[in-house]
């Protein structure tokens, strides 16, 4: 147990960095909620593989958020549980879901990059180093979203197209679960 004075003395995190990291917590929390609502819509519509893929991804986004919680507090800051509101629950199509995912992940990458840039300028090398994991993760997330979206153009959505796309999404999901992918 620490009193407030000790907590203040032990702090190594700059206040503006802490604020950016807390904003990132909110973004990851929203990502998790966003993927969860998409997973639910896919399951309700009968896209079983897409929904499994998105349920798993919702858990991953929560893990991204939890890493930030622990880091902020370990560095002497205070990680804040964000309010998660305004999550959309209905979508027009499976394709729209993957378009939204790519758009969202590009926003997340920009946000991660701005934290990395800030940490480097502030000579906060601990945060700079911690954020490298997110830089690599974002590159993978964007690639995955692009591959998923390509399926719609390659296979087409007519006839059994959507069923085939759902099967291929299952394979993509299984592939990303392999170690080192
Ligand atoms: Fe946390 O990477 Fe996606 O949003």
Is the residue at 159 inside a domain?
yes
For residues 148 and 129, give the distance between their C-alpha atoms in angstroms, rounded to a whole number. Answer: 30
Is the residue at 105 inside a domain?
yes
Is the residue at 8 inside a domain?
no
Is the residue at 91 inside a domain?
yes
Is the residue at 132 inside a domain?
yes
Is the residue at 141 inside a domain?
yes
Residue owning the nearest CA to atom 3 of ligand 1 = 105
Q: How many domains does the chain have?
A: 1
Give me the long-range contacts of 161-164 (CB less than 8 A, separation at least 24). 162/47, 162/94
Query: Which tens digits make up the pLDDT trace of 61-91?
Result: 999 999 999 999 999 999 999 999 999 999 9
Query: Which tens digits make up the pLDDT trace of 157-170?
Result: 999 999 999 999 99
Question: Which atom of ligand 1 is least distant from the CA of 60?
Answer: 1
* Residue % of the chain over a pLDDT of 70: 91
CA 17 to chain CA centroid, Å, is: 20
Ligand 1 contact via 108 beta carbon (within 6 Å): yes
What residue numbers bound the domain in which 25 lies?
15-177
CATH number, domain containing residue 123: 1.20.1260.10
Question: Which atom of ligand 1 is least distant from the CA of 64?
Answer: 1
pTM for this predicted structure: 0.90
Is the residue at 118 inside a domain?
yes
The HSE-up count of residue 89 (CA atoms within 13 Å, CB side) is 4
**Rounded distance from Cα 59 to ligand 1 centre (Å):** 11
For residues 59 and 127, give the distance between their C-alpha atoms in angstroms, rounded to a whole number. Answer: 24
Here the tokens at position 179 are 């170690």
Is the residue at 171 inside a domain?
yes
122's CB contacts (< 8 A; 6+ apart) are 14, 16, 17
């Amino acid at each position: 147990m620490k009193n407030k004075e000790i907590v203040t003395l032990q702090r190594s995190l700059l206040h503006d960095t802490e604020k950016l990291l807390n904003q990132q917590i909110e973004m990851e929390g929203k990502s998790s909620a966003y993927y969860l609502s998409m997973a639910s819509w896919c399951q309700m519509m009968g896209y079983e593989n897409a929904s499994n893929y998105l349920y798993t991804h919702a858990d991953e986004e929560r893990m991204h958020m939890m890493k930030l919680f622990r880091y902020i507090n370990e560095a002497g800051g205070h990680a804040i549980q964000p309010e998660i509101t305004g999550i959309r629950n209905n979508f027009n199509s499976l394709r729209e879901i993957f378009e939204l995912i790519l758009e969202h992940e590009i926003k997340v990458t920009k946000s991660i990059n701005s934290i990395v840039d800030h940490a480097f300028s502030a000579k906060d090398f601990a945060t700079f180093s911690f954020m490298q994991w997110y830089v690599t993760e974002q590159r993978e997330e964007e690639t995955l979203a692009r591959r998923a979206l390509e399926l719609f153009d390659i296979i087409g959505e007519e006839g059994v197209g959507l069923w085939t796309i759902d099967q291929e999404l299952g394979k993509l999901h299984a592939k990303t679960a392999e170690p080192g992918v």
